[in-house]
Structure 1
Amino acid sequence: MKEREVSTGSPLILGATVHKDGVNFAIYSHHAEAVALAIFAKAQDYEPRERYQLDPTLNRTGDVWHIFVHDLPLGAFYGYYIDGIHQPQLGHRFDSSLLLLDPYARAVTGSFEWDFFTKEKRPKSIVYEDTFDWQGDRPIHYPLQDSVIYEVHLKGLSHTAGKSYAGTYLGVIEMIPYFKELGITSVEFLPLMEFDDMEYAQNGSEEHPLRNYWGYSTMSFFAPKARYAVGSRDGDQVIEFKTMVRELHKAGIEVIMDVVYNHTHEGNEHGPVVSFKGIDNSVYYMLYEDKRYYWNYAGTGNTTHCYAQVMTNLIIDSLRYWVVEMHVDGFRFDLATILSRDSRGYILDNPPLLRSIMEDPVLQKVKMIAEPWDAGGGYQVGHFPGKNFAEWNDRYRDDVRRYWRNDYDMAAAFATRVAGSHDLYGASGKRPYLSINYVTAHDGFTLHDLVSYSHKYNYANGQNNTDGTDNNLSWNSGVEGESSDPNILKFRKQRMKNFLATLFLSQGTPMMLGGDEFGRTQYGNNNTYCQDNELSWFDWQLAKSEESDLMRFTKELIHFRRRHNVFGRKEFFKGYVPAGGTKPDIIWFGCDGHQYKWHKQDNALGVRYSGEREATGLSSESEDVMILFNPTHESKTFYFPLTSDKMRWKLKIDTGLPSPRDILPEGVYEELVDPYSYTLMPHSLAVLICFPQ
């Protein structure tokens, strides 16, 4: 085909920018010696239909190569061939024979299986722009202290739900009634940026195929995952992603994306050349002094050079795009400590990338959640840079697990976590709601498995059970693995309720793992990153069978938290009577009703939250709430702490009681036999609400 008219183009906006008379292409490369833009007729074509060699004297401004192609239609497939020296020992891996993805591509061809180690089956970038009707959609901006986060894999959520669009963006829309009934405010999706789901295919077998299920191996930081779309046309993924967000917003549900900016799909020196390696390897990645090798702070082969200005710009541009164009409400940053590292790998107190995110006028009100550690030993829980960054609190997870396992002398640590982890966040000036509390997450045991397995069983992953953590802090409740013993099943369900109740009754922002509300199991596999099958997908038949018990308990629990002002505090407890108040904002006590003697009593523990406006900082009064915890193997009678006010306590929750008495519906309470004490069964938790006498 005859080539189109071209002109110099502009370096101002990277990527493919659509204009009324054509498309402007711009790409950064400092060390490239030659750049060619290739246009393809079809997604699977090997040879380009058009090829435009960029003249460095005309089509290069600084380190940005650019060209304007006239009359190029939307939906055109394109990529780059970039040439330069190929000297890996100097950090340069140019190969002009390989088609490269545009780092700023808005969509990537996903209609066939790629092969990055050949020249024939490589994905193409897509020239994309749409006129999507957002129907007036605006960001929701729930305060974190009012949020309930539900972490879930988009495909696994609805793949077996029997819905019309199961396992897709549109399939999520079909799950909205379920989300509303459950009571969550925000859905946190595992990675939705484009990745190669066949990445681990060579590690599996015909009987046990392995695929990249989780998606923590980003290929393109602007492109939504194509295979999660129903439509077969390249680019449909963008429209369907936006449709999903719009409909979730209509239902009052936020969208938080798990984003992976710390490494890419290209891996180490043995990995494929997909994009950054072939564009300017030594700029985009952190390399050893022998520049053939990559720093591996992510544990996956490479580490992006987030201290470099070009990478900082790309990440900021990507975040802005997802917020402005895709209406995403927040981000959870995978292995976020890497974003704090400088060019030599040292962790900085005030890294430029994180400072830029916090100061960016577009991003300031967006939820930012850090996984504040990395695979290189970096650990920043409690002091992750950026006062507005929330943090995954793994100390909460571990201490709560140890406490409910009744490990020795855990009451003090447990109480600290339940009260918002002041020891971690107080000194840095962060608020309690910036602690993202969780007991389970995608990485590790499900809640069912936490109470059913004392050891991991990851043999299906093909690594002889060596992958995944061994530090699960789990307890099988007396029998390892699946059981049909009704007593074991009852005990396990009671323990799951303890964990759920602790999570939603703690100060901080709760995040629950999707499926825990009905006891989803992975049969002891705590690392299902490569299991795109029934092991990872939601079993909705199980959910239906549990509807009257664990599901009901979780729904009532979430709604109970959202109705009561004593949870989700903006400030840490003081432990004394606030000005204008009549009682301490919090009281920790033992079974005798007196102040708890830390490190001198067993783990049985009680707490009373004051609902006075002086204590909560809110404009309206709320009921006092008392929570009793008993992780021990024997029943405990708690005597209530005496205060100057005359109050009558009524029972709301007791995980030791059978359903439906385990949690009573809104407005329903149970009178106590003894108004001054309550006996709690072993391994159980109770919540009491106060009423004036």
Structure 2
Amino acid sequence: MDNPASEPPVTAVLGAHVDDAGTSFSLWAPRANRVELVLVDDQLDQQNYDLEQYPDGVWRRHLPDVGGGQRYGYRVHGEWAPELGQRFNPAKLLLDPYAKAITGGVDYSGPITDHTAESNFQPDPTDSFGSVPLSVVVADSPAPAPLAQPRPLEELVVYEVHLRGFTKQHPEVPEHLRGSYAGLAYSSVVEYLVGLGVNAVELLPVHHFVSEPFVIGRGLVNYWGYNSLGFFAPHGHYSSAGTTGEQVAEFKAMVSALHEAGIAVILDVVYNHTGEGGHEGPTLCLRGIDHGEYYRLTEDRRNDYDVTGCGNAVDTSKPAVLRMVLDSLRYWATEMGVDGFRFDLATTLIRDGAHHVDQNHEFKQAIAADPVLSGKVMIAEPWDLGPYGYQVGRWGADWTEWNDRFRGFTRDFWRGAVGGVQELATRLSGSSDIFDHDGRPVTASLNFVTAHDGFTMRDLVTYDLKHNEANAERNRDGADDNRSWNHGYEGETDDPGIIAARQRAARNLMATLLLSAGVPMITAGDELGRTQGGNNNAYCQDSPISWLNWNTRQEWPDQEEFTRRLLKLRAEHPLLRPGSWRRHGKVVDAAGRSLGRSPIAWFNETGWEMTNDHWHDQGRRTLGMYLSNADEGLLIWFHAGADPIETDLPGAPWALEYQVLTHSGTDGELPEEPIAPGSTLTLPGATVAVLAVKVRTGSR
């Protein structure tokens, strides 16, 4: 076409859609001059059909008697002109970007690149069929059961889960279901999640993904899944029933099971790049349809402009690409029933045509205006690897952001690497220094101490150094700045003193996370003492290194029980999950009369409020956080010092009586009976203690 359309029309329905008479196929490829649809039968024979070109850049054809389960691909013809961002090569069989299911894998020893071995800019005429995956036609089916009562953000407790690794070794899940969508939906697994107290699972990528050639070459795989190939297709390998559409039905059944238990489903989505890598990598989908229309390119149009570190960057400054991403989000929200999204390297999605970061990008505007997406949970990983990619705190009122400042400080505080408690108060109260502006709520901060990337919580208190030898990169991969503390011995030990200290430290980390304002995220297994043996970059370990070992709960039982107690407290006490910023002022009763106390106050160990000198004391290791409303109060002590400290409990008007609800120490370390105001409470070294406060309510 002389003037190719910049995007398909709003009315264009892309992908493969089944009707009573057959299936309609449509592909947007505005710069192509011919598109062949390839149907593949059970004997792997191919039958080709030419699609008809329309002025809107969409190629279409309806085929009778074709239905669900049919495997297919595309061969896209056009000019080979890398200097124009065109790498058309019909020898390469391509996936449908809108495919709802994908079957098969990539043979990295096969002819999967569009270019020759001698040059990245000379076309390779060898057919890639047999070495690349295929798209699958999927008929429409009912959406999953919705959540009966979606929770507001302040009530969410996010549980980051690797779908395969969570149940791969689960003793109560039938062997044939372990590591699958059906495994996560299994009754004993759902009951565990409900009993723990989490109400949202955030699934590591379940868009269909592939491994990178360099990982395959080491005899490993991409386990985490941050290498998407299909934005509409659930990952086929996670299906227990099959990969020719069965994965769609199994995913929907999983969502229904979780929803019926009151658990929201959030997807970790990777729209910033694809598994094709740079132009020297395999041609499997978008590059063969139109390299320059789908990916960010350098000024010479021959090379990828990579701000992701993964070889390419999807170009959402192009209307058609943005349309594809939004279509994918709507599909997962409506047809697949998910409740929210966490966007990997989200900054890439808000770069403009000049690759500059634009917080007013059409991507964000479109989500805010969309009647479906605007009501979903939106979580940004607010950075990428490009210029000005670090955008923490800048995403606006409709977004929640991964707060890496919370992660770094919490680790440093409990290992004694920071002085004073000033930043502790800021992090506990929602990180106002980052998020309290432009009308943003306290739930803008997603608080976390660990995530899939890095040490587990157990490893954080067990290792000073990473131990990634199993990744076959000579331990050169993964972060070196872990802010961890091995408590005097590197690795696992039988020393009871070291074990006790480590477990106490882990309880303190968990308490800080779950008692802070904002949205907490727990990494699955941290409550069970999960370990990766010191591997802090287990992205390539589809093995017991990464799989959750359910037997560790027997070694760390106090961690699990303490986590349950904390989550129960968070659910029972709205004070621990504010939806708005707490301001200093006066708590009043129903008649508007002051009750003489503040919604939030900070105390030192003498029972008096912190002074300016206290806040600037770099040797201070103890802080009391007081929270109250008209009906109740809580006093939470954070004591990071190694030795016990005597604390005087504030008297009137702050409290009428105190009662220890839970603490990170061992049984018997703190009193169980009620405590009078003004009494002295001895906090053991390295302890978090939560006290209920009986307060004057104004009622007679």
Per the TM superposition, whether the score is higher than 0.5 is yes
* Residue aligning to 2:693: 690
SS in 1 for 2:688: strand
The question of 1:172 aligning with 2:184 is answered yes
* Residue aligning to 1:518: 528
- Counterparts of 1:665-676 in structure 2 under 5 Å? 669-672=672-675, 676=679
* Residue aligning to 1:631: 640
* Residue aligning to 1:618: none
The question of 1:237 aligning with 2:254 is answered no
Cα distance between partner residues in 1 of 2:212 and 2:301: 28
The question of 1:280 aligning with 2:280 is answered no
Cα distance between partner residues in 2 of 1:644 and 1:526: 48
Cα distance between partner residues in 2 of 1:525 and 1:54: 50
Cα distance between partner residues in 1 of 2:639 and 2:327: 50
* Contact 1:269/1:293, CA 8 A, preserved across alignment: yes
* Residue aligning to 1:394: 404
- Counterparts of 1:486-525 in structure 2 under 5 Å? 486-525=496-535
The 1:546/1:663 distance shift into structure 2, 3 A limit, reads farther
Tell me which moved more, 237-246 or 649-658.
649-658
Q: CA deviation at 1:297?
A: 0.9
Q: CA deviation at 1:89?
A: 2.6
Letter in 1 for 2:580: E
Q: CA deviation at 1:468?
A: 1.3
Q: CA deviation at 1:144?
A: 1.0
Structure 2 residue corresponding to 1:100, chosen from 86, 90, 94: 94
SS in 1 for 2:133: coil
- Counterparts of 1:39-54 in structure 2 under 5 Å? 39-42=39-42, 45=44, 47-48=45-46, 50-54=47-51
Cα distance between partner residues in 2 of 1:663 and 1:234: 59
* Contact 2:158/2:199, CA 8 A, preserved across alignment: yes
Aligned residues: 659
Cα distance between partner residues in 1 of 2:345 and 2:69: 34
The 1:180/1:495 distance shift into structure 2, 3 A limit, reads same
Q: CA deviation at 1:233?
A: 5.4
Q: Deviations over 1:299-349 (max 9, x none)?
A: 111000011101110011000000110000111000001111112211113
The question of 1:566 aligning with 2:560 is answered no
Q: CA deviation at 1:74?
A: 2.0
The question of 1:182 aligning with 2:196 is answered yes
Cα distance between partner residues in 2 of 1:197 and 1:91: 25
Q: CA deviation at 1:603?
A: 3.2
Cα distance between partner residues in 1 of 2:397 and 2:563: 32
Q: CA deviation at 1:84?
A: 1.1
* Residue aligning to 2:207: 193
* Residue aligning to 1:79: 73
* Contact 2:651/2:677, CA 8 A, preserved across alignment: no
Q: CA deviation at 1:65?
A: 1.1
The 1:140/1:334 distance shift into structure 2, 3 A limit, reads farther
The 1:19/1:684 distance shift into structure 2, 3 A limit, reads same
The question of 1:584 aligning with 2:598 is answered yes
* Residue aligning to 1:604: 621
Q: CA deviation at 1:259?
A: 0.2
* Residue aligning to 1:266: 276
Alpha-carbon RMSD across the aligned residues, in angstroms, is 2.2
* Residue aligning to 1:6: none
* Contact 1:31/1:84, CA 8 A, preserved across alignment: yes
Cα distance between partner residues in 1 of 2:280 and 2:257: 43
Structure 2 unaligned segments of length 5 or more: list them: 1-9, 114-127
* Contact 2:105/2:132, CA 8 A, preserved across alignment: no
SS in 1 for 2:486: coil
The 1:558/1:285 distance shift into structure 2, 3 A limit, reads same
Cα distance between partner residues in 2 of 1:410 and 1:273: 54
Letter in 1 for 2:361: P
* Residue aligning to 2:118: none
The 1:170/1:36 distance shift into structure 2, 3 A limit, reads same
* Contact 2:598/2:628, CA 8 A, preserved across alignment: no
* Contact 2:105/2:131, CA 8 A, preserved across alignment: no
Cα distance between partner residues in 1 of 2:502 and 2:200: 28
* Contact 2:468/2:537, CA 8 A, preserved across alignment: yes
SS in 2 for 1:448: helix
SS in 1 for 2:598: coil
Q: Deviations over 1:573-595 (max 9, x none)?
A: 21232564421111112222233
SS in 2 for 1:671: coil
* Residue aligning to 1:159: 168
* Contact 1:39/1:77, CA 8 A, preserved across alignment: yes
* Residue aligning to 1:69: 63
Tell me which moved more, 165-174 or 189-198.
189-198
Structure 1 unaligned segments of length 5 or more: list them: 1-9, 614-620
Q: CA deviation at 1:610?
A: 3.3
Identity, in percent, stands at 38
Q: CA deviation at 1:536?
A: 0.1
Q: CA deviation at 1:678?
A: 1.5
SS in 1 for 2:623: strand
SS in 2 for 1:403: helix
The question of 1:28 aligning with 2:44 is answered no
* Residue aligning to 1:616: none
Cα distance between partner residues in 1 of 2:608 and 2:276: 60
* Residue aligning to 1:541: 551
Q: CA deviation at 1:382?
A: 4.4
Q: CA deviation at 1:62?
A: 1.8
* Contact 1:401/1:439, CA 8 A, preserved across alignment: yes
Letter in 2 for 1:678: L
Tell me which moved more, 178-187 or 639-648.
639-648
SS in 1 for 2:92: coil
What TM-score comes out, normalization by structure 1 length? Answer: 0.91
Q: Deviations over 1:210-231 (max 9, x none)?
A: 1110000000000001111111
Q: CA deviation at 1:105?
A: 0.5
Cα distance between partner residues in 1 of 2:230 and 2:304: 20
SS in 2 for 1:37: strand
Letter in 1 for 2:34: A
The 1:139/1:210 distance shift into structure 2, 3 A limit, reads farther
SS in 1 for 2:615: coil
Q: Deviations over 1:447-483 (max 9, x none)?
A: 0011111111112112222211112111111111111
The 1:275/1:663 distance shift into structure 2, 3 A limit, reads farther
What TM-score comes out, normalization by structure 2 length? Answer: 0.90
- Counterparts of 1:314-333 in structure 2 under 5 Å? 314-333=324-343
SS in 1 for 2:560: helix
Structure 2 residue corresponding to 1:468, chosen from 478, 487, 490: 478
* Contact 1:39/1:76, CA 8 A, preserved across alignment: yes
Tell me which moved more, 231-240 or 530-539.
231-240
* Residue aligning to 2:18: 18
The 1:639/1:601 distance shift into structure 2, 3 A limit, reads farther
- Counterparts of 1:334-413 in structure 2 under 5 Å? 334-413=344-423
